[in-house]
Amino acid sequence: MKAPDFWRRNGLAAQVLAPCSWLFSAAGQIRSAIVQPYTSQLPVICVGNAVAGGAGKTPVAMQLARQLAAAGWRPALLSRGYGGSEPGPHLVNMHDDAAALVGDEALLLAGVADTWVARDRAAGARAIEAGNYNLIIMDDGLQNPQLQKTIALLVVDTDQGFGNQRVLPAGPLREPIGAALARADAVITFGADNTALAGTALATTNLPSFSASLGSLNSAQFNRRRCLAFAGIGRPEKFRQSLAAAGAEIIDFISFPDHHRFTDNDTQRLLAHAADAEAVLVTTAKDHVRCPAAFRQKVEVLQVAPVWSDPEALLSWLQSRLQKSSP
């Protein structure tokens, strides 16, 4: 889904849709009030956000799984499997499962640790409890009331901010900023520009805050190379900026809708364009897993991961909270 332009400002369209936003917020509040959350036998870390679209949740969940596994934990990742047809609970096989079955994000997560998809998060947690794990890391689901969270992390893209600060569909928010902060135990910020957060509740929160930037793991691979880049993610411009920072000569950049399933027509068009421009095709890891298998071999991937401003601070804080939650 491409974010509409009116989400950035309080114009007429946002004002007309305001009553729909009130209904959306009320529906969420009613759901939270009537659903009895399941308390897992295992601690649950939820990595969520307050806006629709990309904020960096999945890269954060992947990095936390790596760091906590290195610290001795046995994490399993839990995803809704957005964009996939599998209702779950289902243990993702990154070699045999397609994005159409389990979703693109689940395939990325499965490259780091065992990953389960389940539309019913409580059912997913029960399935994980039957395995050899001692920690659940849930990618997204901050607003989902089905599963009790031990630790809730609110991921915020500071460059994007909260748009016009209105709730869907009048704005990008899944819920009011104050409500998201009330659910959260800590905030993780991406980006260097905090001006978009000025005047919001986040600017004055007392929650612990950890900052990161999105770093390229293989930037040297693209330095001074002619690249035809394409992406179908929440914020494609973010990918473009990362590729440019890697020193690539971007001869063209093609955006597709978020979670776009690439067709044969798409791939043939991209291959022909790259051949005419004498450029290499480059995309994101998330887009790469949605490409047809034969096409994937002809496309390179810019790999990214969070780079913490203080690498030990978040890990230390998480371990302290997890130890306190142990029976």
Instruction: Determine, yes or no, domain membership for 8.
Output: no
What confidence category does residue 206 fall into, taking pLDDT thresholds of 50, 70 and 90? confident
Looking at the structure, do residues 54 and 177 belong to the same domain, yes or no? yes
Q: How many domains does the chain have?
A: 2
**In the prediction, which pLDDT does 64 show?**
96
CA dihedral sign, ordered 164, 186, 304, 139: negative
Q: What is the pLDDT of residues 136-184, one digit of tens each?
A: 999 999 999 999 999 999 999 887 788 888 999 999 999 998 899 999 9
Pair of tokens at residue 307: 């780079």
Residue with the two structure tokens 């993702």: 92
Instruction: Determine, yes or no, domain membership for 22.
Output: no
Instruction: Determine, yes or no, domain membership for 7.
Output: no
Looking at the structure, do residues 104 and 209 belong to the same domain, yes or no? yes
Alpha-carbon span 117 to 100, nearest angstrom: 13
Instruction: Determine, yes or no, domain membership for 234.
Output: yes
What confidence category does residue 214 fall into, taking pLDDT thresholds of 50, 70 and 90? confident
Looking at the structure, do residues 285 and 149 belong to the same domain, yes or no? no
Three-state secondary structure of 109-154: HHCCCCEEECCCHHHHHHHHHCCCCCEEEEECCCCCCCECCCEEEE
Looking at the structure, do residues 168 and 267 belong to the same domain, yes or no? no
Pair of tokens at residue 170: 């009048």
**In the prediction, which pLDDT does 104 show?**
93
Instruction: Determine, yes or no, domain membership for 115.
Output: yes
> What mean pLDDT is predicted for residues 207-216?
90
Domain of 279, CATH number, reads: 3.40.50.2300
Structural domain boundaries, residue 249: 218-302
Distance, CA of 145 to chain centre = 19
